[in-house]
């Protein structure tokens, strides 16, 4: 059975109810979508309470399995960690409705997107890859999104009716995700370099000189503000970023290059996530965790790691 003609009448399923999933849920409900259903691996565990409280506030139905979610939705959005891209698609495929749409929002390599598409298409649904081209929170559902796949052009106006800001990159799978992954090599790599360079400069007491030199070379960038933002994003989302960079490394590897830079960035991002998880960058329960406007506060915490 095909989905209703009016996308606002769709039953929307969210695979993953993390930061991105919750933002999409809020905006879809505000847009007038009558039924939003979500599934997350945290449900049934010790970290599920915030998810259930958020769902109750916004009228989102939570289900316990991918099969239940897939069977309930005309339109599925997969917004999981990068390493779960293929597994999420494969888990939904057996129960997915024929004719349903599957939008893959994940930051994964072209090869991973193609494997996910194979599972969904074989089940009679329509897979479209999506590449999110910048941080979601400032833009919310309007975040710039590149689409790819044989039916991407067909889905684009339907997404616009739901409030998405999507453009078609190609009718070939992998083009949108390759664009995203190559960008990530640069952007996440710059985050890792800033954290390493700024923290080291802080330890040597030469941060003023380093910042002045950067400002002279790149006068269009406010390095104080940009540095603080990079520290914040990696402290808050280092684990997810590390997974994305492993996918970026795989993207580089798929064309026959050794992904030295992407792999090193993944290590630095993962290292920051480990510090955050151990509480060495402050308590996650603190409302100011990861939000310092001065990168020096975070650099000093890094330099104190492991010390009494």
Residue 1 forms part of a structural domain: no
Residue 148 pLDDT greater than 90, yes or no: yes
DSSP string, 71-115: HH-SEEEE---GGGHHHHHHHHGGGPPTT-EEEE-----HHHHHH
The boundaries of the domain holding residue 119 are 7-172
Residue 42 forms part of a structural domain: yes
pTM of the entire structure?
A: 0.89
pLDDT tens column, 40-92: 988 877 778 999 999 999 999 999 999 999 999 999 999 999 999 999 999 99
Which of 112, 146, 172 marks a domain boundary? 172
Indicate if 166 and 182 belong to the same structural domain: no
Indicate if 183 and 101 belong to the same structural domain: no
pLDDT tens column, 153-178: 999 999 999 999 999 999 999 999 99
Residue 278 forms part of a structural domain: yes
Strand segments, DSSP code E, in 245-297 are: none
pLDDT tens column, 201-222: 999 999 999 999 999 999 999 9
Helix (H, G, I), strand (E, B) or coil at 294: coil
Indicate if 20 and 129 belong to the same structural domain: yes
Residue 248 pLDDT greater than 70, yes or no: yes
CA–CA separation, 295 and 68 (whole Å): 44
Q: Output Rg (C-alpha) for the chain, integer angstroms.
A: 20
Instruction: Residue 47: give its domain's CATH number.
Output: 3.40.50.720
Sign of CA dihedral 152, 158, 164, 165: positive
């Amino acid at each position: 059975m095909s989905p209703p003609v009016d996308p606002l009448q769709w039953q929307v399923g969210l695979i993953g109810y993390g930061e991105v999933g919750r933002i999409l849920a809020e905006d879809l409900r505000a847009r007038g979508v009558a039924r939003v259903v979500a599934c997350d691996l945290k449900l049934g565990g010790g970290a599920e309470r915030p998810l259930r409280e958020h769902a109750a506030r916004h009228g989102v139905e939570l289900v316990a399995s991918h099969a239940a979610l897939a069977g309930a939705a005309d339109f599925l959005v997969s917004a999981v960690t990068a390493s779960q891209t293929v597994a999420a698609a494969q888990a939904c495929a057996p129960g997915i409705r024929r004719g349903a749409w599957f939008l893959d929002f994940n930051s994964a390599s072209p090869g991973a997107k193609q494997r996910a598409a194979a599972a969904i298409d074989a089940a009679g649904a329509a897979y479209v890859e999506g590449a999110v081209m910048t941080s979601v929170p400032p833009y919310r559902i309007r975040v710039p999104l590149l689409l790819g796949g044989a039916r991407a052009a067909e889905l684009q106006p339907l997404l616009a009716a739901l409030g998405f800001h999507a453009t078609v990159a190609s009718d070939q799978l992998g083009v949108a995700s390759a664009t995203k992954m190559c960008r990530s090599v640069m952007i996440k790599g710059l985050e890792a370099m800033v954290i390493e360079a700024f923290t080291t400069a802080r330890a040597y007491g030469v941060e003023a000189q380093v910042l002045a030199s950067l400002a002279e070379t790149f006068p269009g960038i406010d390095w104080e503000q940009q540095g603080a933002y990079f520290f914040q994003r990696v402290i808050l989302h280092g684990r997810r970023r590390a997974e994305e960079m492993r996918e970026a490394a795989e993207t580089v590897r798929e064309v026959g290059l050794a992904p030295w830079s992407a792999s090193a960035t993944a290590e630095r991002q993962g290292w920051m996530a480990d510090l955050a998880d151990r509480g060495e960058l402050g308590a996650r329960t603190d409302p100011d965790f990861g939000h310092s406007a001065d990168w020096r506060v975070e650099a000093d915490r890094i330099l104190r790691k492991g010390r009494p």
